[in-house]
Structure 1
């Protein structure tokens, strides 16, 4: 009798790691804290890719002066379609361009904080038998947080590397890390 061992695939989410959220000139930048996590994100991207796992880029997409989007009233215009601000930051853009055609790499637009809201992410993950997510990117207490809550509610196992998430609000960042661990059962590494 043959025994087959199925290994579950994992996915790394790089949430909103764009020029507008990370570069010094970005419209809604996390600045130095966002820039400081690039090396850890790149290391994780390479590790996941090498292991045959998935590297996913859920990325904010906005249209200038959109009267129907709630963020229009909350934040300055950012991640606008077809702009420099929406490109991935620095070496992450270079990595993405080199690997974009791989079946292991998936980039898509999102229009809400959560990478799951109004997207096909859950279907994409389930069709590939992915049940474990590692969340990276910005902002810890906004888009990463909302994605984590959605993932928790959909029964995904969560890991959040604390050196691969950042925010422009240090208090919110720390609160979110505690929330991931104590309320969502995420593994913080």
Structure 2
């Protein structure tokens, strides 16, 4: 069994006016990321939207000193970006049951969440990752998935970052260190 995890493809991380945007690189994957999501939903596969969550003026969160405030609870910044947001908001009830929305407060979608439990309840052994940033949240989610024994598939045409060198490094790290399969539209 397989699942798709859509990591942080939100307004704040992708839109030009987002609070911590990767801008054009993140926007460049919109069509492919949305198509992959549609494919998983239409195949009745489990789809997880792992969405970064921060509290206003949380001085104890480790990211506070690293990044500007972003994905603040109750703001537009946490909404799914562009075509993906339009697609998921229009899902009929029967397909919406296959979608799991989860908040995450650390880079990895596994850290401090019930994601591992939700995947194992469904006998999922293979996870597919899309979203941003390939060298931060996607990477940390992949590392935790590796450490938990999941088979990992990275859709290179549906991950991106605001750091081009970090993105390229992460793609190499996925295969060389985590044993992930890196695929694109022509190979998946």
TM-score range, shorter chain: over 0.9
Displacement after TM superposition at 1:172 (Å):
0.2
Displacement after TM superposition at 1:100 (Å):
7.6
Q: How many residues align?
A: 181
Deviations 1:36-68 (A, max 9, x none): 101111111111111110111000000121011
CA RMSD, aligned part only? Answer: 0.9
Alpha-carbon separation, structure 1, partners of 2:35 and 2:82: 14
For 1:82-101, list aligned pairs within 5 A. 82-99=74-91, 101=93
Alpha-carbon separation, structure 1, partners of 2:164 and 2:91: 32
Structure 1, unpaired ranges of 5+: 1-8
Q: Does 1:40 align with 2:32?
A: yes
Structure 1 partner of 2:62: 70
Contact 1:100 1:106 in 2 (8 A): no
Q: What's the TM-score, normalizing by structure 2?
A: 0.94
Higher Cα Rg, which structure = 1
Structure 2, unpaired ranges of 5+: 184-188
Alpha-carbon separation, structure 2, partners of 1:85 and 1:119: 21
Residue range with higher mean Cα deviation, 38-47 or 115-124: 38-47
Contact 1:99 1:105 in 2 (8 A): no
Q: What's the TM-score, normalizing by structure 1?
A: 0.94
Off by >4 Å, runs of 4+ in structure 1: none
Local SS of the residue matching 2:47: strand
Local SS of the residue matching 1:14: strand
Structure 2 partner of 1:6: none
